[in-house]
Amino acid sequence: MIGAGGWPFASLACLAAWQCSREYVGLLQASGMASGMEPPSKLTSSTVTLFCVALNVWTAASRGRGSTPLAVAAFCLMFMQLVDAHKPRFAQLASTVFGLIYCGYLPSFWLRLRMLDVPAINSQLLHSWPVSLGGLSHVTVGLVATLTTVACVVGADTGAYFTGRAFGRTRLHSISPKKTVEGAAGGLVASVAVALASWRFLGWPSGPAQAAGLGALVFVSSVAGDLIESVIKRDAGLKDASNLIPGHGGLLDRLDSYLFTGACVYFLITAVLPGFGV
């Protein structure tokens, strides 16, 4: 899907936005979260999901524009709750708008990242990508950046898991007792190592310092995403967002490390790295 880009990749983002938003609404309706507050109605819940998917469709169709639709969707959602809820509270408004951003707007940055159509990567490895796996006609910053970012998240999670199991002693944060400082250090090293490998073998970013900065940013944003979802589940009184994947929880549990990462890397490339890191 990443290799194909375009609407195939956008369809994947829309599917993720749909499922994650459903799981997020389920967390809002959990007994722990809804204590003392009226949970979102079916109409509000369905609207959150609809807007989350629509934001990704709009981003794909408009080639990366999504700020204005987000503001309009947030207004419509809050206005609907003012009319629909018996006694609307600020926490209700804030939680549903956060869900719109969390499960709809943030995933759309992966589409924007993939759309960075700067054909300046000279990578023999990617130019030889088999036609059966996507048929890359040209290699862009968006393609390499998306592949690298996903690989860095996987590296960060894997490095943190194995390092934490082997050497973990010091708790990283009270929100997630299983995360350790030692594991975080291993995750950071692994993420930076993956980014440096991208520089060495894929030709992007253009230097080792930029690659190390990218790897560090991906690590921090992935850990933050994981911890933020842990806060939501803790208040909801649930261990997992859903039971969609037996033994692994819901899709939101699998993608929490990716939600903020796409936006952070997109900002790094477009606003910090000179020449989009080429």
Q: Domain-by-domain residue ranges, the chain?
A: 1-115, 120-278
Show the tokens assigned to 216: 């560090």
**Pair type for strands 176-180 and 171-173:** antiparallel
Query: Is residue 36 over pLDDT 80?
Result: no
One-letter amino acid for residue 20 of the chain: C
Under 8 Å between Cβ of 223 and 184:
yes
Q: Among candidates 145, 149, 150, 216, which has minimal Cα distance to 184?
A: 216
Angle at 178 between CA 157 and CA 242, to 5 degrees: 75
pLDDT band at 124 (very low <50, low <70, confident <90, very high): low
Overall average pLDDT of the 140-162 stretch: 95
- Looking at residue 235, its pLDDT comes to 87
The pLDDT of residue 120 is above 60: no
Q: For residue 176, give Cα distances in angstroms to 57, 141, 181.
A: 34, 35, 12
Beta strands in the chain (DSSP E): 171-173, 176-180
**How far apart, in whole angstroms, are the C-alpha atoms of residue 69 and residue 89?**
24
Query: Among 46, 5, 51, 53, which Cα is nearest to 25's?
Result: 46
* Mean of all residue pLDDT scores within the chain: 88
Q: Taking the alpha carbons of 38, 41, 47, 53 in that order, is the dihedral positive or negative?
A: positive
First to last CA, the chain: 23
Stretch among 16-20, 36-40, 52-56, 239-243 having the lowest mean pLDDT: 36-40
**Segment 179-233, tens digit of pLDDT:** 899 999 999 999 999 999 999 988 889 899 999 999 999 999 999 999 999 999 9
Q: How confident is the model at residue 246 (pLDDT cuts 50, 70, 90)?
A: confident
The CA distance from 59 to 54, in Å, is: 8
| Mean pLDDT to the nearest integer, 81-97 | 85
d(CA 113, CA 108): 9
Beta-bridge partners for 249: 245
Query: Which has more pLDDT, 92 or 66?
Result: 92
Nearest to 200 by CA among 137, 268, 124: 124
| CA 157 distance to own-chain centroid | 14
Q: For residues 58 and 67, give the distance between their C-alpha atoms in angstroms, rounded to a whole number.
A: 10
pLDDT at 5: 78
Question: Within 13 Å and on the Cβ side, how many CA atoms surround 199?
Answer: 19
